Amino acid sequence: MGMAYPRGRGEAPAEEPIPVVLAGARGHGRRHLDNIRRLTAEGTVRLAGVCELQPLTVKELGDGLGEPEQSADLAGLVTRTGARIAVICTPIHTHADLALAAAERGAHLLLEKPPTPSYAEFARMSEGLRGYGTVCQIGFQSHGSHALPAIRSLVAEGRIGAIRGIGAAGAWARDEDYYARAPWAGHRTLDGRDVVDGVLTNPLAHAVVTALHLGGADRAEDVAGIELELYRANAIEADDTSCVRIRTSRGATVAAAVTLCAEEPGEPYVVVHGDRGRITFWYKLDRVRVERDGAPPETTDHARTDLLDNLVARLRDGTELLVPPDRTGAFMRVVEAVRTAPAPVPLPADAWRTEPGAGVASRAAKRRVVTGIDRLVTAGAERLALYSELRAPWAARPAEVPHP
């Protein structure tokens, strides 16, 4: 029996590059542009169109991509170019509408995270995609790491004993002008629309989703309870220093402590706690360290499958998609909890200080640093604890938040 393929544009011969359009080619979108350039050089795809409010200059487009059509109308661009893949890297609150517009016209999707700013939008988008018969890859790159199946195998083999929980820690630094880069940056809402651009839901969303994955809780029904503490040191609407603890339907505990106001920024990680050891995964580095009672630590580096490569393989030969929407349902429960929670609590002025900016290109910029936050982030991942339980002087324990 032949392989069943998703509906959409007719399947091209394997040797013919797949036409791609990119919506949002500036900012973070430059990484997608460079990745498309790599795959173009390999003969896998060709850039058929770029969707931006203002067309890219020749310098911005760079070499090796030909002369793609440029337009601010994604739907029209997909139709005219015959694109079979649309890469969407636009503001969070535009994701669902653009994804559905592209899918309606036969394009399969690589959609940046977070998928949508609310669970209702996520459900609407997912239902629409099913109706159009197109596939969608959500841009959680950590799910492409070969370290994940390796860690799952180690756990299944009992290498660190019974699992007592999964913690995540992320201590990053962002200058104050990070929140001026776009009108939606650092907002919970904009012009009456949900945005939810907080540290848990966007910059360090990978820490949350990776911890959930290793806790066996990818899907919406895997979440049984959520506790949240949302704070902000910056003069923004959303959170920049927060923690969450999730109780899964299997009774596991997944906790994440994150900040964009670190004293000494470091690599974010997820740690799997066992009763006879632990496994630490630095997900941006694809690096794993196994520490077991009575044995020296073992550190290994792993390869990674690119998500656009994986999407192309799905269209070519039916390879399983790494991050379909349903595998981000549990994360979207967290997004919804953040969206519906009370506004983040401003930290008192004596809880943070101002230091020179961390960005190379912004020497004159300033950033806000929360005193002692690095220690709290580490302790939160280690003890699966909230900031209030760690006795942060500015933290007050909230009630468990509702989730759909």
How is 113-138 classified by DSSP, letter by letter?
SSS-SSHHHHHHHHHHHHHHT--EEE
Say whether the peptide bond before residue 114 is cis (omega within 30 degrees of 0).
Answer: yes
SS3 of residue 301 by DSSP: strand
Instruction: Count CB-CB contacts under 10 A for residue 250.
Output: 10
Instruction: Count CB-CB contacts under 10 A for residue 382.
Output: 16
pLDDT at 9: 47
Q: Is the pLDDT of residue 54 over 50?
A: yes
Q: Is the pLDDT of residue 86 over 80?
A: yes
Contact call for residues 347 and 232 (beta carbons, < 8 A): yes
Structural domains in the chain? 18-134 (3.40.50.720), 145-303+341-383 (3.30.360.10)
pLDDT at 209: 98
Q: Which residues contact 329 (CB under 8 A, 6 or more apart)?
A: 122, 218, 219, 220, 221, 222
pTM: 0.93
φ, ψ at 89 (rounded to 5°): -135, 65
pLDDT at 193: 96
φ, ψ at 228 (rounded to 5°): -130, 145
Region 351-371 average pLDDT: 84
pLDDT at 358: 74
Q: Is the pLDDT of residue 384 over 80?
A: yes
Distance CA 84, CA 45 (A): 10
Distance CA 234, CA 368 (A): 7
pLDDT at 26: 96
Contact call for residues 259 and 240 (beta carbons, < 8 A): yes
CA contacts within 13 A on the Cβ side of 304:
17
Q: Is the pLDDT of residue 133 over 70?
A: yes
E-state strands within 286-333? 287-292, 298-301
Distance CA 195, CA 180 (A): 15
107: confidence class by pLDDT, cuts 50, 70, 90: very high
Amino acid at 302: H
Contact call for residues 143 and 323 (beta carbons, < 8 A): yes
SS3 of residue 327 by DSSP: helix
Whole-angstrom CA distances from 90 to 38, 86, 186, 268 are 21, 12, 15, 24
